[in-house]
Amino acid sequence: MSPVGNSRAMEWIRHIMEKLVVLLAFLPCVSMKTVWSPQQDGDPSLRFAVIGDWGGLPLPPYTTEQELLVADELANTASKWGADFILSVGDNFYYDGVKNVTDIRFKATFENVFDGESLRHVPWYVLAGNHDHNGNITAQVAYTNVSSRWIYPDLYYDLSFKIPSTNVTVRLLMLDTVVLCGNSDDFVGGQPLGAANVKLAEKQLNWLVEKLQTSKDEYLLVAGHYPVWSIAEHGPTSCLVQHVEPLLKKYRVTAYLCGHDHNMQYLQDNSGIGYVLSGAGNFMENSRKHEEKVPEGYLRFFQGEKETMGSFAYMKITPKEMKITYVKSGGKSLFQTTLYPRDL
């Protein structure tokens, strides 16, 4: 080929490459097939989603439309923003938990639903709700040895994380509020009926006090199924208001994370503690039945409209702040707020 021919060929190749660069710039989501790294944006952080009350139904196909939509959006969010783990705050299997470790519900309601590519290797840290306690709760704990991503070592347990590339730590204390306060009947409403075993309840409460006392973590989170504060169908949990809320204040907890009421709420008390209620994984209830039982000024956000079709809370914790975003199925942000490290 003549020098002129070579020059024209190189010019044509450059022209094609320039077009490809422009095209790819407008199609990043289509072209990217790898899972988004949580640290890719150069901002060291710990990122996770909080999802509650996602437990499908006890009859085939063992799911609800809302659960499927939430699972899709959870996968999308993990792909776009990153996820170090998922926090499940209970009622994992409606209405009576599971029978044994081989129960079909583990596959049909969990494994086969939350199966997006970005979720396949993300650990789920699990705690139990009242419906889980209606079944074989020991089987849910034992499933930890079956599934590579289901992590539920005991009814209550302690998790500790370090924000990558920093010395900033996040402590997450996982409670079993059914053991603490007793079971409840969602179809009747009302408060938990009181601890079935008072000694076990006292043992867990003493464990919580010890963990709170010794925490030197910049961020200190407590999670349980029942809410401390809620304006909705179940309302504030009097047992937790009496026994746990004073401890959250005394030890300057950053936030309390929960489910139980089937909607999304964010409340914040006068000491700055955030109360993150994320119970819209499977059903939506637009109830404000107990609004008058929550101190004035605590409620900052509420969403219970059925058209929302599910939601979850997404957390991004950096050395400087903890950003909380409520995300609905379809990807829209419903509400966002910020909490800050503890003053140690």
Q: What is the pLDDT of residues 104-121, one digit of tens each?
A: 999 999 999 999 999 999
CB neighbourhood size of 330 (10 A): 13
Contact 285/262 with Cβ under 8 angstroms?
A: yes
pLDDT at 210: 98
pLDDT of residue 23 exceeding 50: no
Per residue in 71-103, pLDDT (tens digit) is 999 999 999 999 999 999 999 999 999 999 999
Residue 263 reports pLDDT greater than 60:
yes
pLDDT band at 41 (very low <50, low <70, confident <90, very high): low
pLDDT higher than threshold 70 for residue 158? yes
The strand ranges marked E within 17-65 are 46-51
With a cut of 70, say whether residue 5 has pLDDT above it: no
| pLDDT for residue 32 is more than 90 | no
**pLDDT score recorded for residue 185:** 76
Tens-place pLDDT, residues 194-252: 999 999 999 999 999 999 999 999 999 999 999 999 999 999 999 999 999 999 999 99
The DSSP secondary-structure symbol of 322 reads: E
134 or 3: which leads in pLDDT = 134
How much is the average pLDDT of 28-54? 62
Nearest-5° Cα angle at 316, 287 to 164: 150
In this prediction, residue 193 carries a pLDDT of 86
Question: How confident is residue 302, by pLDDT bands cut at 50, 70 and 90?
Answer: very high
pLDDT value of position 344: 85
Sign for the pseudo-dihedral over CA of 60, 83, 314, 158: positive
**Is pLDDT at 42 greater than 70 in this prediction?**
no
Spatial distance between the Cα atoms of 315 and 45, rounded to a whole number of angstroms: 10
Say what the pLDDT of residue 244 is: 98
What is the average pLDDT score of the chain? 90
- The whole-number pLDDT of residue 40 equals 47
- CA–CA separation, 18 and 24 (whole Å): 10
Angle at 281 between CA 275 and CA 283, to 5 degrees: 105
Q: Looking at the predicted structure, is the pLDDT value of residue 189 above 90?
A: no
Please report the sign of the dihedral spanned by the C-alpha atoms of residue 173, residue 174, residue 179, residue 180.
positive
Question: What local confidence, expressed as pLDDT, does residue 18 receive?
Answer: 38
Parallel/antiparallel/unpaired status of strands 311-317 and 322-328: antiparallel
Query: Distance of alpha carbon 122 from its chain centroid, rounded?
Result: 13
- pLDDT at position 188, please? 66
Q: Give the pLDDT of residue 170.
A: 98
Mean pLDDT value of segment 150-165: 98
Predicted pLDDT at 37: 36
